[in-house]
Structure 1
Amino acid sequence: MPAAISPSRDAVARLKPGAPKPRLTRAEKAEATRARLFEAAIEIVGEMGYAAASVALITARAKVAQGTFYNYFESRQDLLDQLLPSLSLRLHALIRQRVMEAPDDAIEREKARLAGFFEFLEKEPHLFKIISEGTVQAPKGFRAHLEMQSASYRRALEYERRRGNLLIDDPLEIDILSQMLISTREYLSGRFCYEDGQFVRPSADVVDTYEKLLRGRIYK
């Protein structure tokens, strides 16, 4: 079975109707097929939930023969467990870029992480449903996603600690803080980024109030 990697969207685009169709190598064709199956699964889970994401529906959406599915994934559950880790890699890449673009200030970098998360949800609106059902329907993938995001946040906080930007130093407290920040952004996204199941751009007040919390400007 091929290694579980995040499928390239370029591979999907190459096989879309109307797109240029250069001669592809066998490996490129395989990558493109796997990517189409992957993107179809993301769409179906995001629209209808994990329970509706049958192999038949995924392959029909991807326009791939049903038997071909098992050339790329061991089972339906294998594919579903790979969705969140793959999206987690995409999320990390976008947030990392936004943090690098932010002013050289710890709180500005943290604001960039929250704003970047909202931006990612606008690009990938299915993420919220995939996360919310993932704890039950794809626990292996959910745990991998959570650990990837936790590790990313711990690295970010450790970077700030080394630069003298954190008031805490204990590794356990840093780990707890990383979970608090991850939970905060996911709760805020559920509260302010969706209306009637559709993504809406959250008000700038959300990030501004988050900054007040970070700077200790809430209580007298």
Structure 2
Amino acid sequence: MTELHEAEEVSSTAGRPLTRRGEQTRAKLLEAAEHVVADIGYHEASIVKITERAGVGMGTFYLYFDSKQTVFEALVVDLNRRVRHSMAAAMEGTGSRVEAERAGFSGFFRFTAQHPALYRVVREAEFVSPQMLRLHYTRIVEGYIAGLEAAQGVGEIDPGLDPEVTAWALMGIGELIGMRYLLWERDSDGRPPVDLDPDVFEAMMRFIQNALTPPRRAESEES
């Protein structure tokens, strides 16, 4: 990067929105940080490794981030934003709450398969930046609660369920199913799956549907 280009990006980050070029450079650094942290962990990662992966100079890094921790925290926010977008986009246009759950989980698992770093980054946040760990989960849960409350209001799911507890429980199901059947799974050549096994997905959704269905409706469906 030339000194002129660096100077242009400095002015764009000084309290004003980034230029398109600046946004692209920042995104490139976050993508590099995602790969580096996923490969070797936060403590072994370094700004040098991140900039080398991104193909930018050290000076460029400091135009966007103050330290390794600030880029890590920005990475947590970025991954959180993208996984929530994947889920919301998948849920758009669905009818019932169970259909929304199915679509949302499908979006989550697709994102997880494409970005397995999400797991390591979130786990590392517990020790590197606990407040970011909490932010990651609470941002997902907040939208979840609103959706569950709306579904209770129209009688789609069990009115006796606590929406907040249910939201945390559902999020836990998705995270651990993804860990077991996406993050840990490998084929005979050692390659990870590109999506969740359909049989696993259906077994999970049957459990979730039974948990959410109002008691009277569940009884009528069984009879």
Deviations along 1:80-125, one digit per CA (max 9) or x if unpaired, are 01112211111111111111244x1221211112221111112222
Among residues 145, 159, 181, which one is paired with 1:154 in the alignment? 145
Correspondence for 2:205: 211
Establish whether residue 35 from structure 1 lines up as the match of residue 27 from structure 2. yes
Q: What is the TM-score of this pair, normalised by structure 1?
A: 0.79
1:107 aligns with 2:98: yes
Instruction: Please give the alpha-carbon distance, in whole angstroms, between the structure 2 residues aligned to 1:191 and 1:46.
Output: 17
Give 5+ residue unaligned stretches, structure 2: 1-12, 212-221
Sequence identity (%): 27
Matched residues in 1 for 2:166 and 2:48: separation? 42
- Give the alignment of 1:84-163 within 5 angstroms: 84-102=76-94, 104-163=95-154
Moved over 3 A (4+): 196-199
SS at match of 1:50: coil
Other-structure match for 1:23:
none
Q: 1:47-102: per-residue Cα shift (whole Å, max 9, x none)?
A: 22111221111111111111221111122111101112211111111111111244
User: Are the counterparts in 1 of residues 97 and 148 from structure 2 also a CA contact under 8 Å?
Assistant: no
Q: Please state how far the C-alpha of 1:163 moved relative to its aligned partner.
A: 2.1
How far residue 132 of structure 1 moved from its aligned partner, in angstroms, is 2.4
Identify the match of residue 54 of structure 2 among 62, 69, 72.
Answer: 62
TM-score (norm 2): 0.78
Q: Partners in 1 of 2:192 and 2:165 — Cα distance?
A: 29
CA distance in 1 between partners of 2:105 and 2:38 (Å): 21
Task: Determine helix, strand or coil for the equivalent of 2:92.
Answer: helix
Contact 2:47 / 2:68 at 8 angstroms: preserved in 1? yes
- Structure 1 stretches of 5 or more lacking a match? 6-25
Instruction: Give the residue type in structure 1 aligned to 2:78.
Output: S
Contact 2:46 2:68 in 1 (8 A): yes
- 1:174 to partner: Cα distance: 1.0
Shift of 1:150: 1.1
How many Å apart are 1:33 and its aligned residue?
1.6
**C-alpha distance in structure 2 between counterparts of 1:51 and 1:159, whole Å:** 43
Q: Deviations over 1:134-181 (max 9, x none)?
A: 2112323222111111112112212212222221357xx211111101
Distance (Å, rounded) in 2 between the aligned partners of 1:2 and 1:152: 33
Match of 2:174 among 173, 185, 188: 185
**What code does the residue aligned with 2:163 have?**
I
